[in-house]
Structure 1
Amino acid sequence: MIVTVDVGNTRIKAAVFEGDTLLEHFVFDKIELAENIQKILEKFQAIVHLVVSSVGDVDKKSFLVFENQLEVHFVSHEDIFPFTNNYGTPKTLGIDRMVLAAGATLLYPNQNRLIIDAGTCVTYDFVDENNVYQGGAIAPGLRLRYESMHHFTAKLPLLSLQSPENFIGKSTSQSIHSGVVNGLVYEIDGFVDEYKASCKNIIIILTGGDAVFLAKRLKNTIFANSNFLLESLNQTFQYKIKND
């Protein structure tokens, strides 16, 4: 049994797997890490591996305290991945993006894959049908768009995510919601259209904390799975075990 942990820029997500089956998933704040990991281990006492992917600022020591209970693994650039990395600066490619690319490669063989992770940032990662990671794009996510307009202007308010009431905003708040939400929706649809035009046999995977909110607003048909990174962590670790 495996527990996978994704340390993001904002929150921590975790999931318990028995083989390929996701038994339960969790979301909690960074300050609650030790407490929640311990609760998971007490609930699922058959867990023998803790697999961590981190882009956040959580110290590794926070996980190593559990070494007396199970084996702790940190995914790194030195691990074995099921794709060829054609990124120009491979050491700068985020571990989360590499894990997503690995999961897509293993779960959707023999086709082109575009993985869109809508979190604090929105990342676009493309793995071609020959299992070559070609690169992608990084853009600000919904929360960053709201925050940047507030912090870098004198009078715009800081708003929380909300569905736009109208396409044409009739107030400052309505205009911000329309600009932030519709702007990102059109961005994602634009990226998807471009990839579809340039390659056939492509699957589009949307994941991340805002995946469900965005999925129903997109014109393109996509596969939305908010737990795809956690599932990809499990797949990547199993691939590593088989190929070490």
Structure 2
Amino acid sequence: MILTVDVGNTRIKAAVFEGDTALENFVFEKKELEKKIEIILKKFPDCTDLVAASVGQIEKEAFLTFENVLKIHFLTHEDAFPFANKYATPKTLGIDRMVLAAGAVLQFPQKNRLVIDAGTCITYDFIDENDNYLGGAISPGLRLRYESMHNFTARLPLLTLEAPVSYIGNSTTQAMHSGVVNGFVYEIDGFIDEYRRQFSNFIIILTGGDAEFLAKRLKNTIFANSNFLLESLSQTYQYKIDND
């Protein structure tokens, strides 16, 4: 069994895999890391490996606490990935984006793939049908858009995510919800439309913490999987083992 861990900007997500099957998923705060891993290992004592996509702002030592019971693996740019990295600055490409790209290649071979990760930031990553990673885009996620309106204006309130009642916001609060949510949806659909104009044989993968909220609002057909990064971690690690 393999324990995969994704350290995000706000929370940690983890999953236990047996082969390609996820047995259970977990979400917790960064400060709970050691305690939660201990709980997971008690529930799944047959775990042999821990694979992390990024340690974010958490020190590696927090993971190395478990070296006596697990093999600890931090995926890096030097590991084997199933695509050619054509990014102009390959060392600056986030390891989480590389893992998502790897998962797209391994799960959807011989297709043009656009991976959209809707988290603190939203990232777009494009891998063509010949397994070339070409790049993408980065912009603020839903939470950052709400926070920026509050932080950089004098009177706009700090709101939490809420589906707008109408496109025409009849109050400041509703106008903000309409601007954030509908603007976000228009952005994603606009990117997808542009890629579709240029490429055929195409699949869109939507993941991240806001994937489920967004999936039903997009006009384009997508494959939505909020745990795609965790699945991709497991698959990328297996690919690394097979190709090192």
TM category (shorter chain) comes to over 0.9
Residues 127-165 of structure 1 show CA distances to partners (whole Å, capped at 9, x for unaligned) of 000000000000000000000000000100000000001
1:19-58 superposed matches below 5 A:
19-54=19-54, 56-58=56-58
Structure 2 counterpart of 1:146, which letter? Y
Q: Offset of 1:58 from its aligned partner? A: 0.8
Could you tell me whether the CA contact under 8 Å between 1:55 and 1:96 is conserved in 2? no
Contact 1:3 1:50 in 2 (8 A): yes
| 2:45 is the counterpart of 1:60 | no
Distance in 1 separating the partners of 2:60 and 2:9: 15
SS across alignment from 1:78: coil
Partner amino acid, structure 2, of 1:228? F
Q: Which residue of 2 aligns with 1:91?
A: 91
User: How far has the Cα of 1:14 moved from its partner?
Assistant: 0.1
Which residue is 2:204 aligned to?
204
Q: Number of residue pairs matched?
A: 244
SS of match in other structure, 2:47:
coil
Partner of 1:40, secondary structure, is: helix
Distance in 1 separating the partners of 2:90 and 2:23: 33
SS in 2 for 1:57: coil
| Runs of 5+ consecutive residues of structure 1 not aligned to the other structure | none
- Superposed counterparts of 1:130-149, under 5 Å: 130-149=130-149
Q: What secondary structure, in the 3-state scheme, does the structure 2 residue paired with 1:117 have?
A: strand
Question: What per-residue deviation string (whole Å, max 9, x for no partner) do you get for residues 149-208 of structure 1?
Answer: 000001000000000011000000000000000000000000000001100001000000
Paired letter, 1:108: F
- Alpha-carbon offset, residue 54 of structure 1: 1.4
What's the counterpart of residue 106 of structure 1?
106
Which stretch has the larger CA shift, 49-58 or 94-103? 49-58
Alignment of 1:1-244 (within 5 A): 1-54=1-54, 56-244=56-244
CA distance in 1, matches of 2:200, 2:166: 35
Please say if residues 120 and 143 of structure 1, whose CA atoms lie closer than 8 Å, have aligned partners that are also in contact. Answer: yes
Q: CA deviation at 1:55?
A: 5.8
Q: Check 1:144–1:55 CA distance in 2 against 1; reply closer, same or farther (3 A cut).
A: farther
Structure 2: how far apart are the matches of 1:147 and 1:54?
A: 25
8 Å Cα contact 1:55/1:94 also seen in 2: no
Cα deviation, 1:42-92, whole Å, max 9, x if unaligned, reads 110110000001162111110000000010000111111000000000000
TM-score of the superposed pair, with normalisation by structure 2? 0.99
Q: Which runs of 4+ in 1 moved over 4 A?
A: none
Distance 1:54 1:173 in 2: 36
Q: CA RMSD in A?
A: 0.6
Aligned AA (2:75): V
Identity over the aligned pairs, expressed in percent?
Answer: 72
Amino acid at match of 1:31: K
SS of equivalent to 2:53: strand
